[in-house]
Structure 1
């Protein structure tokens, strides 16, 4: 929670407020509030390079810490782990003797995870989780744990759809105590681990994000053992049931890395796709056998020829439909791997 002094100072800055950097002399005009957390407020602003997200706080130490994380992320080649850092400065509020630290970062335009899936469908959920695991593996390789991993700290950008991490305020060096957490996504709350920063802490949160996708209204812990309660929710949902082994492994901290979890996720997704193709092919076989049997049962050649002539349009239509269904399943299977390759 934020203290009262912050609520009376940098909270809810009205639209049109101009923040002039003390050192770099860059000005940023507030357009609206984007969000807030334990360490400060985030505003959509318009500056010299267009729209940008600006985070401001009374706590200069927390700002410095987050800036260091963003600078470290920027050095990781080939990956966008968080928003790009644009500026760091101080703002002297007019009419007061107070100075507030802020930093400016890339404004990521997109949709929340839930809204995106509502529009595009659950077939995208697995792909986005794979993308998230890829970014987490890169983050963990750098010695960091995201910590406060939850849907509020994720955004799905477009062209092509890509999940991105927001708000690095909870990012913690591996081995240290988690700085920020949200109970529902915290393994400590569910009695399934400590709040020591390690890769398994983030992977637990990934499993909880998957559960939260299917249960947007967060449920509270009851008197059951945490794992049993969560498994109960998993088994009530058909999408979650596809990944039950993966979810249980993540919830119990058995994955050594995000890469391992990603491979098992992909394996289950592949089994689902190939299973659908096999089912379609098997469904076609009995119909074909039935038609052949019907033709052989006719008595005279003339009757046989008439029967064939009569049945040919119907058989061709059904055969064409079945072939289309099989081909469509194969194309969808191939398209899935294409998307995976393009967006990972």
Structure 2
């Protein structure tokens, strides 16, 4: 097992109350707690001038530079809030004399998408699908593939309610090999594509995100990956309206996020039209599903429009 050198240096394990001061910009950050860790570094909640922020620190300077460049690139389209705002980039020299790279970004306070959908209903599935596909399209147009797209790297924030990316550590330039991935979301793991960075790689992971929402414990691959994944989609009531689109994305039918978004939009509008035509069929045995699907459509489109206008 490969060991991250950072863990060998005991002083990188920052403790609540510890102050990190930048070597070059001389800004100080008070550590409040650990938010998470990955292959590149560890993220901590901190405060600066009384405000919360997220600080990522690592001894992998080159990888950190790549992440910083991604965040800077995203700031060119920051009005769309593709990723956290980048606040500072600096080095820290520990009391033991070791030098680490760190950057500070906006702290996004919210909740896990799975928990949010469980509390607020499946109407939000369509909302989040449209939002994510919108952001992925802008991401891809900027020349990047998210790479390590997964539930852990997404959070639902409020005012307005919107799903946001919180970690760009796996981001890879289009055309290169994916450098960081999580097996469950990786099409290479399922034997359904390569690990080349292209929009279709993200769209496969996008589908796995919504599968994971309804299968939180995940599941293992088998000899017939496509059949397994298709059945998992078919068995989730909330995914029924979108199942053909999701299956198309798994097999790489869509070249861009915009193509997939258009088909999701078509599904929503078609569902609403069917509901309108059969609004008087309340006694029909299929009416409950139609009513529910139609309601989902109205809510999804409404919330989606609000999220892109505010």
TM-score (norm 1): 0.82
Q: Tell me how far 1:48 sits from its aligned partner.
A: 2.4
Match of 2:287 in 1: none
Determine the structure 2 residue equivalent to 1:52. Answer: 53
CA distance in 2: counterparts of 1:327 and 1:252, whole angstroms: 31
- Change in CA separation of 1:11 and 1:277 when aligned onto 2, cut-off 3 Å: farther
Counterpart mapping for 1:68-147 below 5 A? 68-76=69-77, 78-94=79-95, 96-147=96-147
Mark the CA change 1:10 to 1:189 in structure 2 (over 3 Å): closer, same or farther: farther
| In structure 1, distance between residues paired with 2:105 and 2:40 | 16
Alpha-carbon distance in 1 for matches of 2:155, 2:181? 18
Q: Which position in structure 2 is the counterpart of 1:311?
A: none
Measure the CA separation in 1 of the matches of 2:147 and 2:43.
19
Q: Name the structure 1 match of 2:171.
A: 171
Please report how far the alpha carbon of residue 215 of structure 1 lies from its aligned counterpart in structure 2 after TM superposition.
0.9
Q: CA deviation at 1:2?
A: 4.9
Higher helix share: 1
Between the aligned partners of 1:227 and 1:173, the Cα distance in structure 2 is: 27
Residues 11 and 94, structure 2, Cα contact 8 Å, conserved in 1 = no
Closer, same or farther: CA 146–206 of 1 in aligned 2, 3 Å: same
Pair 1:90–1:264, CA change in 2 (3 A): same
Q: What are the equivalent positions in structure 2 for 1:184-263 lying under 5 Å apart?
A: 184-223=184-223, 225-263=224-262
Deviations 1:217-273, CA, capped at 9 Å, x for gaps: 1101122x2111111212222222322210111001110110110111122122333
Name the CA shift for 1:252/1:61 in 2 (closer, same or farther; >3 Å): same
Choose between structure 1 and 2 for higher RCO, CA contacts under 8 A separated by at least 6 residues.
2
Matched with 1:38 is: 39
| Corresponding residue number in structure 2 for 1:300 | none
Secondary structure (helix, strand or coil) at the match of 1:149 reads coil
Contact in 2 for aligned 1:10/1:57 (Cα 8 Å) = no
Size of the alignment, in residue pairs? 302
- With 275-284 and 123-132 compared, the bigger mean Cα shift is at 275-284
Q: Distance between the aligned counterparts of 1:199 and 1:59, measured in 2?
A: 27
- Check 1:122–1:283 CA distance in 2 against 1; reply closer, same or farther (3 A cut): closer
In structure 2, relative to structure 1, the CA distance for the partners of 1:10 and 1:114 (3 Å cut) is farther
Contact between 1:30 and 1:46, CA under 8 Å: does it hold in 2?
Answer: yes
Structure of larger gyration radius: 1
1:243, 1:268 within 8 Å by CA — same for their partners in 2?
yes
Instruction: Tell me the CA shift for residue 280 of structure 1.
Output: 3.2
Q: Indicate the residue corresponding to 2:307 in structure 1.
A: 343
For 1:209 and 1:22, locate their aligned partners in 2 and report how far apart those are by CA, in whole Å: 39
Q: Alpha-carbon deviation of 1:11?
A: 4.8
Secondary structure at 2:197 match in 1: coil
Q: CA RMSD in A?
A: 2.2
Output the CA distance in 2 between the equivalents of 1:218 and 1:209.
10
* 1:329 Cα offset (Å): 9.5
What's the TM-score once normalised by structure 2's chain length? Answer: 0.91
Task: Compare 47-56 and 128-137 and name the one that shifted more.
Answer: 47-56
User: Is the 1:6–1:58 Cα contact (8 Å) retained in structure 2?
Assistant: no
Give the Cα–Cα distance (whole angstroms) in 1 for the partners of residues 100 and 83 of structure 2: 23
Distance 1:333 1:116 in 2: 18
Q: Give the corresponding residue for 2:65.
A: 64
Q: Distance in 2 between matches of 1:121 and 1:333?
A: 13
Contact 2:275 2:291 in 1 (8 A): no
1:40/1:7 Cα in 2 relative to 1: closer, same or farther (>3 Å)? farther
Deviation (angstroms), 1:334: 4.9
